[in-house]
Amino acid sequence: GAGVSQSPSNKVTEKGKDVELRCDPISGHTALYWYRQSLGQGLEFLIYFQGNSAPDKSGLPSDRFSAERTGGSVSTLTIQRTQQEDSAVYLCASSLIPGLAAETQYFGPGTRLLVL
Amino acid sequence: SQQGEEDPQALSIQEGENATMNCSYKTSINNLQWYRQNSGRGLVHLILIRSNEREKHSGRLRVTLDTSKKSSSLLITASRAADTASYFCATAPRVGATNKLIFGTGTLLAVQP
């Protein structure tokens, strides 16, 4: 596609429910990243995929958070038993070639999650 | 935790004036990037400067990097109302095997017409 797409754009859920957020990277981009932006914490790195594997999961805040990537393309971020502090904008980014320090990351529009 | 700190947190200028935003970071980096964000949604990449570069230009944007002071600045010349947005610096740390970006706290720029 023309850019990184994410769905849904907005998600409202009740505390304790599970949610799945989807990211479609730019076609051909092998590296994929998830970030979170919240009022109190700013923009935080969550997880990085190279192909279908995740060599860096260091930013996932708890074991309620998980992510997978299939076919080297689409990625899903799952939050189980959501809490109110999970409310944030979840941003996905992709880049063409992993391992190159100078590679630009292209961001999607984000999913705004609100946990009531 | 965030690595970068930006100042000012907010900046209000008149159209036509120049806007300067500063960013400081803590560890060695491979590169530093500046992003723009409108309305709290997607980030738009503006410019990337490598650790061995000192200055870079792109249109009305000028970025400087001082690795000895671990700081960078973004200058927007001849600002326009459409430049109103939040601006973030992001560093790619030298350590580690990933290209994750560490973002600064951001500067909210308001350009008054």
More confident residue, B26 or A82: A82
Q: Please compute the mean of the pLDDT values over residues A98-111 and round it to a whole number.
A: 77
Determine contact, residues A32/A92, Cβ cutoff 8 Å.
Answer: yes
A114: in domain: no
Q: Compute CA distances B45 → A21, A62, B15, whole Å.
A: 23, 29, 22
Average predicted confidence (pLDDT) for chain B: 90
Indicate the number of domains in chain B. Answer: 1
Q: Is A25 on the interface with B (CB under 8 A)?
A: no
From chain A, the residues in CB contact with B35 under 8 A are 107
Residue B97 has pLDDT above 80, yes or no: no
Indicate the number of domains in chain A. Answer: 1
The domain containing residue A40 runs over which residues?
Answer: 5-108
Q: What is the pLDDT of residue B27?
A: 85
Q: Is A55 on the interface with B (CB under 8 A)?
A: yes
DSSP one-letter string for chain B: ----EEE-SEEEEETTS-EEEEEE--S-EEEEEEEEESTTS-EEEEEEEETT-SEEEETTEEEEEETTTTEEEEEE-S--GGG-EEEEEEEEESSSSS---EE---EEEEEE-
Domain harbouring A21, CATH code: 2.60.40.10
A115: in domain: no
Q: Is A99 on the interface with B (CB under 8 A)?
A: yes
Domain harbouring B12, CATH code: 2.60.40.10
Q: Please compute the mean of the pLDDT values over residues A20-32 and round it to a whole number.
A: 94
Q: Compute CA distances B47 → A1, B57, B63, whole Å.
A: 23, 8, 8
Interior CA angle at B51 toward B47 and B56, to 5°? 40
Instruction: Report the sign of the C-alpha dihedral through residues A96, B86, B4, B52, in that order.
Output: positive
Residue A41 has pLDDT above 90, yes or no: no
State the smallest CA–CA distance between residue A14 and chain B in angstroms.
Answer: 23
A79: in domain: yes
Spatial distance between the Cα atoms of B35 and B18, rounded to a whole number of angstroms: 18
| Chain B residue whose CA is closest to A5 | B42
Q: What is the pLDDT of residue B1?
A: 46
Closest by CA to B76, choosing from B2, B21, B28, B6, is B21
Residue A94 one-letter amino acid: S
Q: Please compute the mean of the pLDDT values over residues A41-49 and round it to a whole number.
A: 88
Spatial distance between the Cα atoms of A97 and A107, rounded to a whole number of angstroms: 15
Q: What is the pLDDT of residue B95?
A: 66
Residue B96 has pLDDT above 90, yes or no: no
Q: Compute CA distances A46 → A57, A97, B22, whole Å.
A: 6, 19, 25
Spatial distance between the Cα atoms of B89 and B47, rounded to a whole number of angstroms: 10
Q: Please compute the mean of the pLDDT values over residues B103-110 and round it to a whole number.
A: 92
